[in-house]
Amino acid sequence: APHRPNWHWFADGTNFPGSGSIRQRKRWFTEGLRAVHEALAGDMRMLVEYKPFEPAFYHTDIADWGMALLLARAAGDRAKVLVDTGHHYQTQNIEQIVAWLLDEDMLGGFHFNDRRYADDDLTLGSIDPYQVFRIFHEICFYTWERGHAPDIAYMVDQSHNLKNKIEEMIQTAMNAQELFLKAALVDHEALAAAQANSDLIDSEEILRSAFFTDVRPLLREWRQARGLHPEPLSAFRASGYLERIVEARAGRNRAALSSYA
């Protein structure tokens, strides 16, 4: 008989009041995560993601970062929390969540995207680049205070449905580079002093000064120093790669249709 792996499946929640026991589902989820954690290979880790709603609409089993934190700690020492930047209520302070998870050594990774209303999965930085900057600032500030960078899995979770998929991913990477570099420019020593003195204006201006710095010339120099094209998006468009793969795939599709006929 063929080998059948030991699969674990997790539901998302319920859609109507009374459909399930929230407390029992919490216990089931904990048991399931522990079982998966025990089956992890030596170099693997578990990232527990949360989302307030969707696809379940009455209650989601892991609705916020606090639930994800408790479940990750219950699962085992290789489990941490994954923050999807689109999985929050309107106006929620995501950088505060990031700061708390960093301080608890429980920030495992990100699914980066941007949003306007819900889990829109838009291009990172397209709607609120200052928020992305503030998230990166918390990571850089932590690194400055602790003397080492946190071990974070940086990932992109976007729906490239309207823009060209490759170009949007290049645009995302460029936005991330620019915003992270801006965050790295924050004068942490001056910021810490301003915070200690409760100087509201100076502490905010230190962040604003870094955010409004044009870092694109520096990034172009950085790429050129490493033998890379200074403008990745322009380089991709000039390469003709997109046109070549479109034609190649169209040819394969035509061949498949003719062989089927």
Q: Tens of pLDDT along 217-241?
A: 999 999 999 999 999 999 999 999 9
Q: Per residue in 5-47, pLDDT tens?
A: 555 568 789 999 999 999 999 999 999 999 999 999 999 999 9
Give the per-residue pLDDT at 11.
Answer: 78
Give the per-residue pLDDT at 254.
Answer: 75
Residue whose token pair is 């930085």: 125
Spans of the chain, pLDDT less than 50:
1
Give the per-residue pLDDT at 256.
Answer: 73
Rounded to whole angstroms, the Cα distance separating 68 from 50 reads 6
* Pick from 50, 52, 191: nearest CA to 134: 191
Could you check whether the bond before residue 217 is cis, i.e. omega within 30 degrees of 0?
no
Give the per-residue pLDDT at 8.
Answer: 57
Rounded to whole angstroms, the Cα distance separating 116 from 86 reads 9
Q: What's the alpha-carbon Rg for the chain, to the nearest Å?
A: 22
Say if strands 59-60 and 13-14 run parallel, antiparallel, or are unpaired: antiparallel
62 phi and psi angles, rounded to 5 deg: -120, 90
The amino acid that residue 245 corresponds to is I
Rounded to whole angstroms, the Cα distance separating 254 from 168 reads 27
